Chains A and B, each alone.
Chain A
Amino acid sequence: MSEAAAAAKSEAGPRPEILGPRFVPNGIFVRRIGRHGALLAGGGMLVAILLASIFASSISPYDPIAQNLRNTLQPPGWAHPFGTDNFGRDVFSRVLHAARVDIAIGFFCVLFPWIIGSVVGGLAGYLGGFVDTLVMRTVDTFTAFPFLVMAIGVIAVLGPGVTSMLIALTLSGWSIYARIVRAEVLVARKSDYVLAARAMGYSNARILLRHILPNVVTPTVIFAVTSMVLVILSTVTLSFLGLGLAPPTPTWGTMIAEGRNFIFMAWWMVTLPGLAIVVVGLALSLLGDGLADLLRGQGSR
């Protein structure tokens, strides 16, 4: 022991040196994406659909609202890959142009509820007490309210259109995000890194925005991506019920609604817009799954 003491006193014993990380993370992110086929496939499909819808005017062979009454109800063929409808409009061109509207509506009808729900749920979870009770009872009320009744109510007051649709979907959608974020915040609030932030003397706003929310958004982002297709389906429902955009602007919902009358004569009028919805839904589901794997792997041990 005395030798050890001598060694230690002479400071010849080892001292902690400047240490480096165990793992060099370069390229890990890239490799992770490579490992996730779902993410690549979903992302690829979605990018292709987005490009197709953005450049719809250049790609589509016909004007989506130009009628050609001499050429109605043509089955799919070389001239009209998806056939034509009862006004002789090219279904392929209409599907492409509708994608623009539907995806944009789907995106914003997810974005607004996501932001509102996250902030409200975050506050409820972090502040607790009276605020939490108030918010959660409001959430219960909104969750219990039937979607169509709310949508019809909003549209009855404001009239059909994009704005009404956005408001109706935001009103019905925010509560689920509030619920998810609140539950996650309740967990994160008890975590050591939040305790550490409190010990550092940080303000409540800083702790909530910088330390809690970035660590709880992951499940809401995944939910938002996968629920986008449900939102698109809701807009389809509203359009189908005639509560959506006014004709002749093509949306998949209105196309299906119009095609309904010709379902036995011209199956393509209903089926091919429906197929577009399925493809978008598949892309979003794959993307959501892939994101879930990717984001859950992040920030963990």
Chain B
Amino acid sequence: MTIEAAPLLEVKNLSKTYAGRGAFLRSLMGRAGPPLRAVDQVSLEIRPREIVSLVGESGSGKTTLGRAILRLVEPSDGEIRFRGLDVRALSQKRLRATRRDMQMVFQDPYSSLNPRMTVRATLEEALRVHRMRPADQIARRVDELLEIVGLNPAHAGRLPRDFSGGQRQRIGIARALSVEPAFIVADEPVSAVDVSVQAQIMNLLLDLRDRFDLTMLFIAHDLSVVRYVSDRVAVMYLGRIVEYAKQADIFARPRHPYTQGLLRAAPRADPLHRSTTVAIAGEPPSALNPPSGCHFHTRCPIATDLCRQTRPLLAAAASEHLVACHHADHAVANWGASAAANP
């Protein structure tokens, strides 16, 4: 992969704000509730054939960001460029046509398939609507798609409920592939399937990337999954990206205290090295009332007054390593010291 390749997708200062709870009534009375900033001025570039992971805890806004990029939720502010095309400026009609190039795989393989449509009907519909094949080749293409994702075409006449979770996820992937997209947002595609099936789905996605030159935004909360599939990783906390770097750099030299905490918190499958301390204390604050300055300062072990007052901007700390922390140097030194202590 050439580093200087033009990005396939560029997101600039993208925000999604939801009106506060009871906003309508309160606005009648002249006092609107606080808005919920689900995504807060996020900038992100994804290059062709790259798998970028978006990782964060529940409520970090990662799903909203993924949907906002596809305009499945309408962004409040900011810019989305796909192959240079301004996605936010598209009319509904043009947007529908553009959806061919930008697809989505959903988290819950149970609820994301229409329960009353057979697998064949689901795939045929996509092929017909977007005129992917002449009418007489559609049936054959459905069989082909099912084989690509590892399902038996003989079972195309069945309803989603006849398949297991992992198989349904394959159907969802086949549906996304049917329109031959360039870019796929995969929203936690393996978190709802069985552990032994997760690796199958991840391998499938990696193979498909190679086979069809796909670019992916892979949303996840599980760091081991992220490490396995991604080229680059963006870490989100309360609507903001706090660190964005190559996969190897994130895992070897995390520069944000939150990323470091996430890495420490994940339980290692190694009974000989047991952790005895809590990685990050406290709970994520409410997005309705986020902390001032750096959102993470309430849980951060190295926070100072500066962090409480000023929002740190995402800036380059090293080559291709962006971090939003006032004390990233301090944090990275800490990490080096702890890594030296527990090899």
Contact = CB atoms under 8 A, between A and B. Distances in A.
A300 B96 CA distance: 29
B179 interface: yes
B116 A19 contact: no
Nearest to A195: B72
Given A192-B112, A299-B159, A203 B70 contact: no
Contacts of A214: 114, 116
B184 to A, nearest CB: 10
8 contacts: A16-B204, A21-B167, A22-B164, A196-B104, A200-B129, A200-B179, A203-B96, A298-B115
B104 A301 contact: no
B115 A193 contact: yes
Contact of A200 (B99, B107, B152, B162): B99
Interface in A172-203: 191-193, 195-203
Q: Nearest 6 A-B pairs (CB), nearest first?
A: A201-B99, A299-B115, A192-B112, A201-B96, A192-B111, A199-B104
A196 B114 CA distance: 9
| A interface majority secondary structure | loop
Interface of A: 16-25, 191-193, 195-203, 206, 210-211, 214-215, 298-301
Nearest to A200: B126
A10 to B, nearest CB: 15
A267 B171 CA distance: 65
Contacts of B155: 20-21
Interface residues of B, number: 47
Given A195-B106, A200-B175, A300-B161, A215 B114 contact: yes
B292 interface: no
B7 interface: no
B307 interface: no
A21 B96 contact: no
Nearest to B97: A201
B100 interface: yes
Nearest to B163: A21
Interface in B52-68: 67
Contacts of B204: 16
A296 to B, nearest CB: 12
Contacts of A299: 115-116, 159, 161
B111 A21 contact: no
B203 A16 contact: yes
Nearest to A191: B111
A202 B112 contact: no
Contacts of B106: 192, 195-196
Nearest to A301: B110
Contacts of A18: 147, 150-152
